[in-house]
Each structure stands twice: as structure tokens, then as C-alpha cells.
Amino acid sequence: MTEDTKKPQPTVEADIGMGGIDKFNSETGVSEIIRPSEMDDNKPFTIDDYNAQMKVAQDKREQGEKIMSEETQQVDKGEPVPENPGGIEIAMRPKLAVYIMKCQFPNEITTELNEHIEKVIIPNNVDHSEGLVGQIRQNKEKSAQLTFPHKGDEVGEMFSGVLEKLAKEYVAKSLSMECETSMNSMWTVHSYSGDYNPLHDHGTETPMGVSCIMYLDVPRCIQTLDNPSEEFGGLNGASGAVDGFTYLTWGSNGMRDVNMMRPVTEEYVKPEAGTLIMFPSWLRHGVMPFFGKEDDERRTFSANINITLGEKLMDTES
């Protein structure tokens, strides 16, 4: 039987014969025929040649899998993944629930705010608790929720302007829209051992608004706890792992729901001095109680900011 009349025997991967190899590419779905003329020095196609070709194919396949692995890391952006060697296009599109913005202020600003609170806000002692749900009362002399004026107070006006700019940035980053912002209210919370804040949300004068919490002083009993965003040992065994932490929730799913591929809809935030978090006013949140020494103070600053959207969409490409 001559080379022209010999029929190749059907195989899964390839057929080796005097005329060469018929190799099926499972990635492209195309049969590739390698002839002796394609080989170096026009030598007969041997099993060694076959093994060499199989190794090249395997190397290409592994490289393709590596590329796919790298490309799937685009999931956070929800962008279509470029075509890969396997011919499969993948795009993960997570459904966003809420934006939470985190800001870290310089120590100088945190110190200035604390000094103003010590010299002005605490001595003025303007109670702000009437419109708040915080159960801040364990220390009969020091537990308090006090008004921090944003008008008629130099420091208050300055910091109010900073927060209004941050609120504009929040809207720009989350909605890609321009807006006008105005301060609704500002206050400080002075918590001591046993004080807590039950789950609640905030309101503003406008239908849309943002709220913020800034941590100004954190007692050592909270500082020494692990950060859940880095390492979280869980709450079992009366661990006290989230004592004094801020709790955020935007749904009904808990940690166990991950086992059923449901997204987690809650988060514990460890207080750190100088850190501010900003979120939509509808976001339900609370503060876990902590148990420290009598004079251990957990001090925070909070604010509600009115948002009025502009009509013009921002150019996200500029």
C-alpha cells in the first residue's frame, strides 16, 4: 500500500503513519496534519517526533490555562475576558449591593478634632441623644452623645466642608454623577464599658444622603483584637472578637450562607483612630458593646450629609 492510498486508522488524539501525523486540536476543533516535509531535514516522522509534538501541545495547553486563570481576575470589573486559547470567553459580573468608602486622616487632623472636642464640645455639653438610638449611658459622668455644630463653630465649619467634598467624591465614585452636598448634622459619641448602639439607619433632609463615622479614640482592649478583614477567628467560645466593633449589614445573609454560594451581606469594622467610613444613610449599622477599664473611652464622630444629584452625567473617561 502506497502513501497515497494508505488510510489512516481512527484514533482519539492522533494517527501516526509513514505520511505523518493527523493531530486533533481539542482547543480549536481543527485537525492539524503534520507531514514529513514539515519536519527538520525532511526525516521520516517517528514516535520521538510524535512525543515532541505532544509536549509542545501540552505546553500550549498549560499556558492557555494560566492565561485563563489570570484573566478571570477581572471579575471585580465585570469586564469581558479576551478570547483565550480554549476558545471560551468568560466574564464574571458581580451584582453590587453597596459602596463603602474608607478614608484615613493624618494624625494632625485627628488630634485637632480631639482637642476641639475636649476644649469646646464636651464643656458645652449640648445633648444630641434625642434623635439617636445609641444606648450610651453606662458611665454616669462621661457617657454622652453631643452636638458638634457645623455652623458658628470654626472647626465645625472647616470639617463640615471637608466632609461635603468627600461626599461628592463618594457619589462620583459610586454613581458617576455630579451632585451638590450640604451638611445635615454632626455629633460625637463618647462610649464607655457596656455602652452600645443597636442596629439602625440614618435619615437626611434629602431623599438621598450619606452618613459617616470617624474613629477618634480607641481603647486598648479594642486595639488588641484581630482585624476581621485580615484574620477572623469567629465568635464561638465567647471570643469577644468584635467587642466595640461597628457592624454593617445590607441584607439577610450571614456567614453560613457562603456554603450555599450566597454572598455575605454583613461586615464587622474594627475601629482605628483616624479612619472614617462613609456609606449611604439607609445602610443599617450598629456598635457592639465593649468591656474595658472604667476610664476607657471609645470616641467617634458622626455626620449626615444631604445629597442633591446634578442633571449632567460625569464623563467617566475624562
> What are the residues whose beta carbons fall under 8 Å from the beta carbon of 66, sequence distance 6 or more?
none
Nearest-angstrom CA–CA distance, 284 and 211:
11
Separation between Cα atoms, residue 309 and residue 116, nearest integer Å: 33
**How far is Cα 66 from Cα 127, in angstroms, rounded to an integer?**
60
Is the separation of the CB atoms in 134 and 189 below 8 Å?
Answer: yes
Q: Output the pTM of the full model.
A: 0.70
CA angle 176, 167, 218 (to 5 degrees): 130
Higher pLDDT, 60 or 188: 188
42 Cβ partners below 8 Å, 6+ apart? 36
User: Strand runs (DSSP E) across 78-194, as ranges?
Assistant: 101-104, 144-147, 177-191
pLDDT of amino acid 77: 52
Q: What are the extents of the domains in the chain?
A: 1-94, 101-313
CATH topology for 101-313 is Jelly Rolls (2.60.120)
Element of type H or E holding 285: strand 284-287
Given a cut of 80, whether residue 66 has pLDDT beyond it is no
Encode pLDDT of 247-276 as tens digits. 999 998 876 787 888 888 999 999 999 999
